[in-house]
Amino acid sequence: AGAGTGIGGTRYDLEKETELRFEVDSGEKVQLELLTGLAEVFGSELNRNKKYTFGPGSKIAVFTWQGCSVALFGKTEVAYVSKDTPMLLYLNTHAALEQMRRQAERENERGPRVMVVGPTDVGKSTVCRLLLSYAVRLGRRPTLVELDVGQSAVSVPGTMSALCIERPADVEEGYSVQAPLVYHFGSTSPGTNIKLYNKLTSCLAEVFSQRCEVNRKASVGGCIINTCGWVKSSGYHALVHCASAFEVDVVLVLDQERLYNELKRDLPHFVRVVLLPKSGGVVERSKDCRRETRDEKIREYFYGFRSTSFFPHAFDVRFSDVRIYKIGAPSIPDSCLPLGMSQDDTQLKLVPVTPGRDLTHHVLSVSCADEGEDGTGGVRRGVLESPVCGFIVVTNVDTQAQVMTVLSPAPRPLPRHTLLIMDIRFIDLK
């Protein structure tokens, strides 16, 4: 279908219900323009006569329900048209969820709470985005719950969050993130601290339910929960835990029949578990590719995206002005635990960190926790259960002078003084 045009790009004429898939090489960028007809990118409609730019590593599908022609400018790694997509099944899923919202509206009930599960690289995030965009295009206000600590679409990696969706995701930039509710998890894999992961899942569920009680639109809109690709052992149990914490009504299982059967077996019978195929367009991402995406996400947090540049600040913070904690003491054999203490306690323990050189490049979450006198976090409203108000990166540590230099989105001083250390590091090359 690709044919050169006089406009300097490559023109593709797409029949209805087909999609153009393309990937952008590292170090390249590609522009996309809709010439005629209607088309969307992961549920967000394209405007005509506007050039959309996609950066290195982007993997995009331009889908059309009615037929269209588009042009690509720049060097693509691959670009081809596929007639074979599961989009009709995804649309039907959306239609079923919309039925549930209508019914909720009529009967003063709550709307669908949907959990999307499956192994890595099956298009979970993409399906979430699609369902959210379709819902919001009908005037709904669904909530995205992002539990994928490796590749968050909402905040920096190592976080778990919820975001009320008020407009379709931006074609180039994704969700416009105004006021997400973000919790510190601290690493890119739930297995690092599964107790904390489950606890934060419960926190998010509770906050969401509270919001639904006071906000009818949020309640009817329901939520779409994106999960991690870890679907075995504790990862699987985390999914079951999530289903119960959020009292989900629907589970969409992408691509894995085994997982589908397990969930059907283990979840209450009133939960609708649906198996959906993955799209042939979903591209498997290498470890390096994942790392780059994570890095990019942190860079965006500090420096903004193309259209909106931010100018982060660098300043010194005295050790004595902050309290730095890591969540979770290293696990020790049961026999060595102090009397009356369980492994759970060690995984959820706030361990004070003495700043040293090894703190350099670490991402720290700035906790919103009330700042009581009690520095240990022992009895105060837990630091664990408090959301974070932002992130900083330690760029230098001077143990002699007892100060560290940080990169911060806002000028000094730090809004709060309880900092939580992440396993994640960011090297600022700017």
284 versus 334: smaller Cβ distance to ligand ADP: 284
Measured in Å, how far apart are the chain's first and last C-alpha atoms?
41
**Least spacing, CB of residue 202 vs ligand ADP, in Å:** 23
The residue type at 427 = I
The distance of closest approach from Cβ of residue 152 to ligand ADP in the complex, given in angstroms and rounded to an integer, is 11
Burial class (CB in 10 A: 0-12, 13-18, 19+), 39: buried
User: In the complex with ligand ADP, which residue's Cβ is closer, 79 or 350?
Assistant: 79
Cβ nearer to ligand ADP, comparing 131 with 243: 131
Residue among 191 and 375 whose Cβ is closer to ligand ADP: 191
91 vs 283, which CB is nearer to ligand ADP? 283
Of 129, 131, 21, 132, the residue nearest 77 (C-alpha): 21
Task: Report the C-alpha dihedral over residues 36, 42, 47, 48, rounded to 10 degrees.
Answer: -20
For residue 196, the minimal CB distance to ligand ADP (Å) is 22
- The site for ligand ADP (CB under 6 A) is made up of 21, 59-61, 120-126, 229, 279, 281-283
Write down the least CB distance from residue 332 to ligand ADP, Å: 34
> In whole angstroms, how close is the CB of 279 to ligand ADP at the nearest point?
4
Is-contact 113 249, C-beta < 8 A? yes
**Rounded to the nearest whole angstrom, what is the least distance from the CB of residue 29 to ligand ADP in the complex?**
15
Residue pair 170/176 in contact (Cβ under 8 Å)? The answer is yes
Residue entry with tokens 């331009």: 62
Output the CA–CA distances (angstroms, integers) from residue 130 to 35, 136, 197, in the order listed.
23, 10, 26
Nearer to ligand ADP, 38 or 283 (CB): 283
Please give the residue whose beta carbon sits closest to ligand ADP in the complex: 281
Closer to ligand ADP by CB, 124 or 184: give it.
Answer: 124
How far apart (Å, rounded) are the C-alpha atoms in residues 353 and 327?
10
Distance CA 23, CA 320 (A): 48
- Residue pair 117/254 in contact (Cβ under 8 Å)? The answer is yes
Q: Which is nearer to ligand ADP, 281 or 387 (CB)?
A: 281
> Is the Cβ of residue 225 or residue 364 nearer to ligand ADP in the bound state?
225
Give min distance, CB of 255 to ligand ADP, in A: 9
Distance in Å, CB of 294 to ligand ADP, minimum: 12
Which two three-digit tokens encode residue 350? 């706030």
* Closest separation in Å from C-beta 274 to ligand ADP: 16
